[in-house]
Structure 1
Amino acid sequence: MSKQSLSLPRAAVSRRPKVPLTKPLRHRRYRQLWLANLVSNLGTWTQTFASAWLIATVSTSASTSTLVQTATYIPVFLFALFAGVIADAVHRPKFLFFCNCFMALCACALALLVNTGHAAAGPVLAITFCIGSGSAFMWPAWQASMSGLVETDEVEAAATLNNLSYNVAAIVGPAMGGVLFSWIGPGALFLINAISFVGLLGVYAVWWRESTAPVIVRTSFASSLKLGLSSALGCHRYRRILVNVSTVFFSTIAFAGLLPVFVKNVLHMNSSIFGLLMGSLGIGAVGGALLLPTVRQYVGKTRLLAASLFVYGIMLMTLPFLHTVALMVPLIMAAGMAWSATVSTLNAAAQLAFPPAIRARTLSIYLFVMAGGYALGSLVWGRVADHFGVQAALAAAGACVMLNAVALLTGKRETSI
């Protein structure tokens, strides 16, 4: 999107057709995967909560606590490019089945580790890295598959629905974890995550049996990787998307990485409050997903992204100086609405940029940049928190998010999408 398109009259933008949020669910396979993935996301969020709070309780260092996010996303940074090539060269339902099997087994191993009394930071982070590795290989194939199950005009709605699934789980998972953590312990929560894969594995197994393996033109790994890289990096618009992805995710990871330390060491509150604040982001994101189809009729993508980042940045800059949960919850909910718009806008733009034949490879570059931003950001904000305090780190991250929003609106650098 050029700088000139940012000044289009309202009438020009309002001609965008409204695609109902539920329209992609009319496709049977998409609907099955979406429902099964909702359950799996619930398990993922339960484990995310349990891992973050467990590490925060066994370590007083902010850097160590943020390593949960690093261990989750650094595998994506390391393996996503290779995973994209593989995803375009295999039978995807079969491939996704085995990726999810691996992650379920890792969740079982994490539960066993805790229940046998070996839940030190190192082993927990190591298994978290393994689960992240499974996600790294799964995500390009998953996103390319999901966008291929709906019509082109439904991709944005499908991306919003996928984000809605993730955020509905983000409400229930942390809330459930906050209540159950001290009652049944983290080991049982990790086991819940393992069980949550069962439905998704069943859908993949049926899809694998019913579908015919596609005819794939065999090329060398190096040639396939080169084609994906040249396609993605040679596209001016896609490079703009990647610039936004790198800066946005670098800054926003501060919330997830530092929230357990903020609750424990600054607010001096327990796991239930941590779960409540995590869930508040999910509640807002669900509300945002429901409003997005209408908002997109009247607001261009770049302005929507900029406004969303502005709201999220305000939350990060304000949160550290609040000490009343009643004020924190609505603030985080507003940021959740903004986060839903941010993720679905960037993700849909990436999915629509290239044809299905190379979509997994180009999406793997999107995931590579996203994970690099997450991994580097979690390390940086953890170190900033150790040296200057958690509150200063959150405020600084918020300032970075707002700078990105200003850059989008002013067009001083090529960041529009």
Structure 2
Amino acid sequence: MGKLVYKVRPNDYWRIGEHENWFEEMAAKGLHLKKLGKMFATFEKGEPKQMKYRIDISIDRKISKDQLDMYAESGWQYVTRDKLFYVFSSPVEVNAPELHTDSAEQSFTIEKLDQKLMGNAIFTVVATILMIGMLSAIWFLEGTPIYVLIEGWAIQQTILAAFIGYTAYTSLRATLSIRALRKNLMEEKPVNRHATWTKRDRLRSAFVVVFTIFIGLSAAIPVVQLVKNKTITLPRENVDLPIVRLADIERNPHLIREEPEYMNDGVDWGNRYSVKWSPFAPVQYDTDEGGVVLGKEWSDGSGQYSPSVHTKVYQLTLPAMADSLIADLVKWHQYDENKEDYVEVNHPDLDRLVVYEGADTKKIFASKGKGVIFVRYYGDAETNTIVDEIEKKMKLIAGIE
């Protein structure tokens, strides 16, 4: 057996004439077709030969042995197949007759393929439209596309939608091309055996290979997220993480944590931190923490003072995304408040600082370099105290590799 050589094949599998001509050109160079894959054609290196190649279509996906024997008796040897397309070869000197001498008869076989391809095209187009609608809602319904991108919720689904969209496009092209071929055959116009595979086709096929590999690699995203993402009960003592702790804000020795109200999988979900990962924010923390201060009541006399804090921390891959993420976080957490209540504040040690101050609620959005922190605090501590803690945590983010 000679050395095997792999070549990027024309991705338009329905272009019969181009494939036949390409196989003949390869044979003239000493590369003889052995197998057709989705992206590559396998050739065996040997002596250059003048060969003829023909592609036959079998809608039943299998040509009978009797038909193969009949073709062999006529000088055509079966080589390989791709889906419904069977490839046969014959040395030029054998002068084998064409597989199909009646173009109109051949068109009836192609009619069945035309119907099958049309069904596939309709299905993929409908699937693409549905996925685009679903993804549009995820990306743009709240007007926070950068936040969605950073969180990594829809990256894999979007890449999958792009692949399905490309499949729909190729299905439509295949349907139109096969339909045009059938029309030509009905008009007694044979397949163009001299159609060439141009440089542009090679570039397009190479792009398809790269795109398909990229799609395959993207499948690792949810796997990495599954491995890296975890949720743990927040320790009562301080931890060396870039998260704002309730004790650091309250600064009251009588602050305690009550018994958990909701436990699941061994996690106190009222006092927990989640570690997350996405391609555009490989380091993320999401925390909730609550407690009560013994002997202290709310200023309006509504009961025992029970402050809480929610924190989201991001270390971005691209620092240039920080401003857009801040803007989207403000939109996402704005709720019923007026936009004017979210005030941009100049801070000497932060790139950006946006503050909202309500009756008992404070929301702070801050960024520095590739670090972004959002804090929603419920309690009566001063805003400056929270900002000071955020500034300290930004230094920890900068030190994370």
What range is the shorter-chain TM-score in?
Answer: under 0.3
The answer to which structure has the higher helix fraction is 1
Larger-Rg structure: 2
TM-score (norm 2): 0.19
Identify which of structures 1 and 2 has the higher relative contact order when contacts are C-alpha pairs closer than 8 Å and 6+ apart.
Answer: 1
The answer to which structure has the higher strand fraction is 2
TM-score (norm 1): 0.19
